[in-house]
Amino acid sequence: MLQPFDDTYFMKKALQEAETAFEKGEIPVGAVIVIDNRIIARGHNLTEMLNDVTAHAEMQAITAAANFLGGKYLQNCTLYVTLEPCQMCAGALYWSQISKIVYGARDPERGCIHLNTKLHPKTIIEGGILAEEASDLLKRFFIQRRNLN
């Protein structure tokens, strides 16, 4: 029988996606979607590469998960994302009917909690998992970006 993984394990996988974004010069946010203790989708920010403001990590992961499942609803799925989702991503997560969202670092300016963005009534949201690691990666990215300009 498979041993269940915990939130920290899956958030580390999301952080690996964020590192990939960092290496590509993208804002380092990463996401994975899990069902039945199995990662079915991964994503990281691709807004610069795709020249698309909607290409956030969550949006990439939602699309990949829907393709994997063969349907648009992500019931019984959990999203692990390194940064609290923005309003746009929260809206997409609402429509996907995802069961649970676990995020790392808070986004006090653009985050869905701060902005009181409505999530699906059945969606559970938890924050602060590996928040320091996620926050440090973002800080490192913006320090590096400032030093290049």
The pair of three-digit structure tokens given for residue 87, joined into one six-digit string? 């309003």
Residue 148: the pLDDT is 75
Contacts of 27 (CB under 8 A, 6+ apart): 21, 45, 47, 138, 141
Catalytic-residue membership of 84: no
Residue range 131-144, pLDDT digits in tens: 999 999 999 999 99
pLDDT in tens, 41-80: 999 999 999 999 999 999 999 999 999 999 999 999 999 9
Q: Which CATH number fits domain 7-148: 1.10.230.10, 3.40.140.10, 3.30.450.40, 3.40.50.1010?
A: 3.40.140.10
Residue 112 — left, alpha, or beta (φ > 0 → left; ψ -120 to 50 → alpha)? alpha
Q: Which of 58, 84, 109, 132 is catalytic?
A: 58
Phi, psi of 41, deg, nearest 5: -155, 150
Residue 3 confidence (pLDDT) = 58
What residue ranges do the domains of the chain occupy? 7-148
What residues are designated binding site for Zn(2+)? 56, 86, 89
Known binding-site residue numbers: 56, 86, 89
Q: What is the pLDDT of residue 4?
A: 66
